[in-house]
Amino acid sequence: MLRPCISHAAAIMNNSIDDQFRLISEAGFKCIDFNIDIFLPGRLIESGEFCELFDSDISTILEFFKPYKEAAKKYDLEFFQAHAPFQLYVDGRDDINEKCYDVIEKTLAICDYLDCRFVVVHPPVLSWLHDKEYEMKTDLEYYRRCIPFVKKYNVVICLENMFRTVQRHITEASCSDVSEAIYYIDTLNGEAGGEYFGFCFDLGHMNLLGKNVKENLIKLGKRIKLLHIHDNDGIQDHHAIPFSYSRNWGQNLVTDWNGFIEGLKAIGFTNDVDFEVGAGCTVVPKELRSAVLKYVYEIANYFCEKIKQ
């Protein structure tokens, strides 16, 4: 497939639903990463309040998303992947976490309604307060409870390599060690009896932790179903447009873009190439949004062509 894809959050600021999809389409994109997470912010999950939308029954929720489905059809855009609300787990709050499973099921129902077959559900344990044994046991059980949902709605849940911030320092978190991610995915698929779990390779997170991009892509191989492509300075998670950061005035780029392309070529990656650059696009004035989206499309198309070579 190898089509340019973009997070729809890149076009949401101060725009109607129709304008969001029109801007993305006019930039050249044919598929989107749908940000379901914007409809249930993490602060509401953490407080236990959630929101009226996700407290509703599934039929009401699907009716809410009907205008998004119609706008995508109008502009010939496909929902290729989606972001589940983040973070769907609150340490030590079993009452909230039980509601989070209901949100996961409703998120997969939304994906199915939109004919979106991949969704990122981030690993639950990001706190630094627990040891690795607790983290892995909790993560695995969390995804096990999602097996009935993925089978019911025929949507693949993708785990993502994460990081955590401890006293302003970036450190490793769930799935940042790809051997751990491989264990999770293979175990869950074995128990589910099919390929219901995959991996979302977040390049920006790999860069923050100084990981070898090409090496980790090759280790994960065909388990990689989704990409989250964005740039940062190696210090903070900026979600910037690629090629934004270098160390010496345009020389020595911070992110290993060549290794990324070579790694994707080595594993024969053919899914859509998604640019998670909402922050990099919405930072500009509204009058420049269209031009920035077109620029991102050109970069995305460049990546697609390089991976094909």
pLDDT at residue 67 tops 90: yes
Q: In terms of DSSP bridges, do strands 251-253 and 246-248 run parallel, antiparallel, or are they unpaired?
A: antiparallel
Which residue is listed with tokens 């976490």?
Answer: 97
Residue 262: which domain range?
A: 4-308
- Say how many C-beta atoms besides its own lie within 10 A of residue 20's C-beta: 22
pLDDT in tens, 211-233: 999 999 999 999 999 999 999 99
Mean pLDDT of 252-268: 97
**CA nearest to 203, candidates 252, 243, 156, 165:** 243
**CA nearest to 165, candidates 82, 270, 236:** 236
Query: Which structure tokens are listed for 232?
Result: 């940062």
pLDDT in tens, 136-160: 999 999 999 999 999 999 999 999 9
**Residue 16, pLDDT score:** 93
Domains of the chain: total? 1
Global pTM?
0.96
Burial label, 268 (beta-carbon count in 10 A; 0-12, 13-18, 19+): exposed
For residue 15, what pLDDT band results from cuts at 50, 70 and 90? confident
Distance CA 83, CA 200 (A): 11
Instruction: Write the DSSP symbol of residue 10.
Output: G
Sign of CA dihedral 149, 151, 153, 156: positive
Helices (H), the chain: 17-27, 42-47, 52-55, 58-64, 66-74, 94-113, 132-144, 147-153, 178-192, 203-208, 213-220, 257-266, 278-282, 289-308
CB distance 272 to 80 below 8 Å: yes
Q: Assign residue 101 the CATH number of its domain.
A: 3.20.20.150
Query: Which structure tokens are listed for 129?
Result: 């307060």
pLDDT at residue 249 tops 80: no
Question: Could you report how far apart the first and last alpha carbons of the chain are, in Å?
Answer: 14
Mean pLDDT of 271-276: 97
pLDDT at residue 38 tops 90: yes
- Say how many C-beta atoms besides its own lie within 10 A of residue 231's C-beta: 24
**Which amino acid is residue 69, in one-letter code?**
K
**CA nearest to 238, candidates 276, 199, 209:** 276
**Residue 127, pLDDT score:** 73
